[in-house]
Amino acid sequence: MATATLNANVRAETGKGAARKIRQAGDIPAVIYGHNRDPQSLVLNARETEKLVKSIAVSSTVIELAIEGKTARTLIREIQRHPFKRHILHIDFQELVAGETVTVKCPIVYIGTPEGVRLDGGILDQIMHELQIQVDPSNIPNHIDIDISALKVGKSLHVSDLKVPAGIKIVDDASSTVCIVQQSKTHADAPAAEGAAEPELIRKPKPDDTK
């Protein structure tokens, strides 16, 4: 499980005007919510927060939020960004509660080289790059490993084919295609090219040819 720490301060003022002042001061407005707690408005240091967000897998990293002497284990649920400048405008945190499962997006790591690629010149098409899973907050994996070494040309893996550790439930549609090994166009055209006969030259005979 990946974790990171971030400092936050409680803010009393709410609303668009207050949020605008916070951003002008070089900070980011935020909110934390969760089971059996009222939403609480927070202030984050913009530089510290931007640096952290760039260095983690946002959807699956547990953020230990230090709020004025107390620590809350959280997940980032939403990041609002400026449509053009792309800097962070607001962050929503969900507080985690032991024993309650959460739904997170977890990166996929493909293990091995498919047989169809190694032996038959196929091309691996990675359709899915993450899985949506339900898991206890204390067992959130950094990634999900998928062994694709036995995959042949024309064959695919679906969500229903995947084996995940105990305690993890995949939320994605079981029929969704995770990856497929396609036959490369060059390799598919090769047999036809090798078996093609040279065309016969047909021409009208000249008068001298009949003598």
Convert the pLDDT of each residue in 36-69 to its tens digit.
Answer: 778 899 999 999 999 999 999 888 899 999 998 8
CA 60 to chain centre: 10
CATH code (residue 84): 2.40.240.10
Report whether 167 contacts 151 (CB < 8 A): no
3-state secondary structure 71-134: EEEEEEEEEEECCCCCCEEEEEEEECCCCCCEEEEEEEEEECCCHHHHHHCEEEEECCCEEEEE
- Residue 209 in domain: no
Report whether 36 contacts 94 (CB < 8 A): no
> What would the pLDDT profile of 112-128 be if each residue is shown by its tens digit?
999 999 999 999 999 99
- Residue 70 in domain: yes
Confidence of residue 193 (pLDDT cuts 50, 70, 90): very low
Q: Are residues 22 and 61 in the same domain?
A: yes
- Residue 57 in domain: yes
CA–CA distance from 13 to each of 31, 43, 44 (Å)? Answer: 12, 10, 14
- Residue 159 in domain: yes
- Residue 119 in domain: yes
Q: Are residues 87 and 144 in the same domain?
A: no
Q: How many domains is the chain partitioned into structurally? A: 2
Residue 54 is predicted with a pLDDT of: 93
Q: Which of 97, 130, 148 is the last residue of a domain?
A: 97
- Residue 202 in domain: no
**Structural domain containing residue 89:** 3-97
CA distance 88 to 100: 29
> What would the pLDDT profile of 143-153 be if each residue is shown by its tens digit?
999 999 999 99
Mark out the alpha helices in 139-206 (DSSP H runs): 185-195
As beta bridge partners, residue 144 has 108
pLDDT higher than 70, residue 209: no
User: For residue 113, which of 144, 142, 152 has the smallest C-alpha distance?
Assistant: 152
- Residue 210 in domain: no
Q: Are residues 13 and 52 in the same domain?
A: yes
Q: Are residues 54 and 134 in the same domain?
A: no
CATH code (residue 143): 2.170.120.20
The mean of the pLDDT values for the chain is: 87
- Residue 140 in domain: yes
Q: Are residues 159 and 92 in the same domain?
A: no
Confidence of residue 201 (pLDDT cuts 50, 70, 90): low
